[in-house]
Homo-oligomer: A and B are copies of this chain.
Amino acid sequence: MKRLLTIAAGLCMLAGSLQAQELTNFNFGGRRKPVVSPEIANDSVTFRLKADYATIVKLYGSWMPGYGMTVDLTRGADNVWSVKLPLPAPEIYTYNFFVDGVAVNDPQNVMVQRDGTRFLNMLIVDGDRTANVHEAAHRGTVSHPWYDSKILGLNRRLSVYTPYGYEANPKAKYPVLYLLHGAGGDEEAWISMGRAAEILDNLIEKGLAKPMIVVMPNGNPGQSAARTLGIPEKQIDYRSPEFANAYVKSLVEEIVPFIEKNYRAIPKKSARAIAGLSMGGGHTIAASGLYPDEFDYICPLSMGAQRNDELDARLQGIKKAGYKLYFLACGSSDFLYGSAKELDAALTANGLEHTFYVSDGGHTWPNWRLYLNNFAPLLFK
């Protein structure tokens, strides 16, 4: 978008003159630099950044072995820094540059995921693991309605996926998956990092999953919405057990009725599933235990529970009420794998039929996308 050089009276004193360092990666006036990044070719990927005055440029990618590990870019012609790396295995990764120690997104790559307060560029290496993350031929609708939570004292934002055909079939009713994020996330996490809309579109189009509504609430009880909207937060310790239960209460007693009133949802236990990762796995374990008559499908991901009398009593409640699926998943190198094994053992000891799905890897979005691909086909059947 062109823009005139308008003069804001009185602010001229603020403007430094153009100095020795011209600005390099900022695309003034809509011109594109000829730099290409990232560039995938055969078995390599090359990252490039134009940075005329940098001393050191590094890259961190989520496929590298741990935070703090980086690779150096080298300065080339026209001050374009680059590094060519072996292509990692098929998956969605995130990366960013560091210019003289400061994190910078790749200005050539508009695909950005937000992880809480961080914006990270995406690198998609295509293969089996990304089969369902691209656009299907038929796509559902993602909506952001607001509901009033009396329990939390806030008007709060949801993400709601309705499947392809929802609008064209005004008499059809659908089952509902409540899909919960982890600590640091919000109501956009499963949409952005989880690619939940694309995964559901593909699974449904392939006939692998039933058409369903997917409800993605904000699990931070002090937040009305993702912080990107600029709504002040309530300053509470939302990790305290009190507020964890307040949120679970609002989920079952406020969000479920809101959805069943405002969407064509089947208002039955057999048409309700709950799944969540990490903190959301904790919410899943709590909601299913505190409200055993609510959900027939229960899927805690990358989370477990300490065995004690309370847990046993809740699991007995679930067993007594009946359920159709208990799908527990965790990565074998997840820091919560021990906790997941403890929940697995508690389920067995209490005689609850269940699946314990163990994947490689840790507490990561590649695993959570994998789990969604695996449990969504098991729901409502």
A64 on interface, CB distance cutoff 8 Å: yes
A349 on interface, CB distance cutoff 8 Å: no
A313 on interface, CB distance cutoff 8 Å: no
A99-B104 contact in complex given A63-B8, A142-B144, A183-B1, C-beta closer than 8 Å: yes
Which of A113-121, A208-216, A241-249 contacts the other chain?
A: A113-121
Distance (whole angstroms) from the CB of A371 to the closest CB of chain B: 16
Distance (whole angstroms) from the CB of A304 to the closest CB of chain B: 15
Please list the residues of chain A having a beta carbon within 8 angstroms of any beta carbon in chain B.
1-8, 10-12, 14-16, 18-19, 21-30, 49, 51-56, 58, 60, 63-72, 85-86, 88, 96, 98-105, 107, 110-112, 115-119, 122, 124, 134-135, 137-139, 141-146, 155, 157, 167-168, 182-185, 224, 227-231, 261-262, 278, 333-335, 361-364
Please, which residue of chain B has its CB at the minimum distance from the CB of A184? Answer: B1
A230-B124 contact in complex given A55-B100, A141-B144, C-beta closer than 8 Å: yes
A interface: dominant SS: loop
Contact B104–A71 (Cβ < 8 Å):
no
Q: How far is the CA of A364 from the CA of B8 in the complex (A)?
A: 13
Please, which residue of chain B has its CB at the minimum distance from the CB of A62? Answer: B3
Q: How far is the CA of A125 from the CA of B283 in the complex (A)?
A: 38
